Amino acid sequence: MPPQGQQQGSWVLYESDLNKDATPPPLVPPSAEKRKWKIVWRNVILFMLLHLGGLYGAYLFLTQAMWTTRIFTVLLYLSSGLGITAGAHRLWAHKSYKAKLPLRMLLTLFNTLAFQDSVLDWARDHRMHHKYSETDADPHNATRGFFFSHVGWLLVRKHPEIKAKGHTIDMSDLWADPVLRFQKKYYLILMPLVCFILPTYIPTLWGESLWNAYFVSAIFRYVYVLNVTWLVNSAAHKWGSKPYDKFINPVETKSVSLVVLGEGFHNYHHTFPWDYKTAELGNYSLNFSKLFIDTMAKIGWAYDLKTVSPDVIEKRVKRTGDGTHQEWGFEELH
């Protein structure tokens, strides 16, 4: 029996969620024990080659690619981005809304295009990131610095604490979804096909060269989406303001939000992680993912969108905010 929520337009407020305002601060403060790195050289070499290819692809994107290829590449950026934001992050890791089968299939396709590993693996790491934020059990512990939280964590063996505490994360809800089980089971076939082979082949249908298509629509687009995603782990844990909770490191950053389809309001998100908007207000120009989810709700593919009442936000801002809330222009809107 699902929890009974209070219907507010197309979304629902859950009493249990409202009480999360009273969540105590984490037991372990931000920390990182000194450790000996076990570098995975295969990953170091592959990521270096990938980034060189990405830079070359960016050059071809700007100078030589056909206009149709450029537009196609931007569309791939937006759809693979949604596979992460509206899919792996807001739908699956946080369950901030529910989705019918066609939307779950579409988002799984978009997610495979993003190649950030299967949703089941992504969501497991992300749930750890929230539960053990900025400690050794957080896979991209930002207290280890910008480089580690951006990409370094993918170049070394995980801290034993991640594996030790991993069992405290319940993933049974996601394992129950046959679409996600299918993606995980066939990932090594689906991922190369969707992320690299099709984006290389499709532009040749309008006369683009295989060379340009591969470096622009596949490699450059992939490297770009990876890096903007990683900015949420690095920059959005470092530079910005903390209107909702000054006792945590995640921050609000508009510039990051622009390129990550609305995921740069990270102080809000770590304070109220169950809000499907991942931001106080869904300003569509900075939150394309909210626009997408709202549109899906209009056609009935998304439902039970969870959010936070202005009242709960206001109390939290007064209790733990850093005083910059007004600067964001929210006051007059309430």
Applying CB under 6 A, the residues found at the interface with ligand ST9 are 40, 43, 81, 84-85, 89, 115-117, 121, 124-126, 128, 139, 154, 157-158, 162-163, 166, 169, 225-226, 228-229, 232-233, 260-261, 263
Taking CB within 5 to 8 Å according to partner kind, which of ligand ST9, Zn ion, none is near residue 85? ligand ST9
For the bound state, the minimum distance from the C-beta of residue 111 to ligand ST9, rounded and expressed in Å, comes to 11
Residues, the chain: 334
Contact 237, 142 (CB under 8 A): yes
CA atoms within 13 A on the CB side of 160: 4
Taking CB within 5 to 8 Å according to partner kind, which of Zn ion, ligand ST9, none is near residue 257? none
The pattern of x and - marking residues 248 through 277 that bind Zn ion according to CB under 5 A reads --x---------------------------
Rg (CA), the chain: 20
Size of the site for Zn ion (CB under 5 A): 1
By DSSP bridging, strand 6-8 and strand 11-13 are antiparallel
For the bound state, the minimum distance from the C-beta of residue 80 to ligand ST9, rounded and expressed in Å, comes to 7
For the bound state, the minimum distance from the C-beta of residue 249 to ligand ST9, rounded and expressed in Å, comes to 13
Query: What's the burial of 230, exposed, middle or buried (CB within 10 Å: 0-12/13-18/19+)?
Result: buried
User: What is the C-alpha separation between 166 and 191, in angstroms, rounded?
Assistant: 25
For the bound state, the minimum distance from the C-beta of residue 45 to ligand ST9, rounded and expressed in Å, comes to 12
Taking CB within 5 to 8 Å according to partner kind, which of ligand ST9, Zn ion, none is near residue 297? none
Q: What residue is closest to ligand ST9 based on CB? A: 166
For the bound state, the minimum distance from the C-beta of residue 45 to Zn ion, rounded and expressed in Å, comes to 28
User: What is the C-alpha separation between 261 and 255, in angstroms, rounded?
Assistant: 11
Of 96 and 233, nearer to ligand ST9 (C-beta) is 233
For the bound state, the minimum distance from the C-beta of residue 291 to ligand ST9, rounded and expressed in Å, comes to 14
Cα separations in angstroms, 30 against 75, 239, 305: 38, 16, 31
Please count the other Cβ atoms lying within 10 Å of the Cβ belonging to residue 204: 14
Stretch that binds Zn ion, among 159-167, 207-215, 242-250, 254-262 (CB under 5 A): 242-250
Identify residue 238 by its one-letter amino acid code: K
Of 89 and 242, nearer to ligand ST9 (C-beta) is 89
By DSSP bridging, strand 305-306 and strand 302-303 are unpaired
Taking CB within 5 to 8 Å according to partner kind, which of ligand ST9, Zn ion, none is near residue 204? none
Dump the DSSP string for 81-109: HHIIIIIIIIIIIT--SEE-HHHHHHHHH
Stretch that binds Zn ion, among 11-19, 243-251, 279-287, 291-299 (CB under 5 A): 243-251
State the distance between the two ends of the chain, measured CA to CA, in whole angstroms.
34
Of 51 and 131, nearer to Zn ion (C-beta) is 131
For the bound state, the minimum distance from the C-beta of residue 232 to Zn ion, rounded and expressed in Å, comes to 6
Q: Give which of 297, 330, 301 is closest to 313, Cα–Cα.
A: 330
CA atoms within 13 A on the CB side of 30: 13
List all residues 6 or more positions away from 168 whose beta carbon is below 8 Å from its beta carbon.
131
For the bound state, the minimum distance from the C-beta of residue 211 to ligand ST9, rounded and expressed in Å, comes to 24
**Residues forming the site for Zn ion (CB under 5 A):** 250
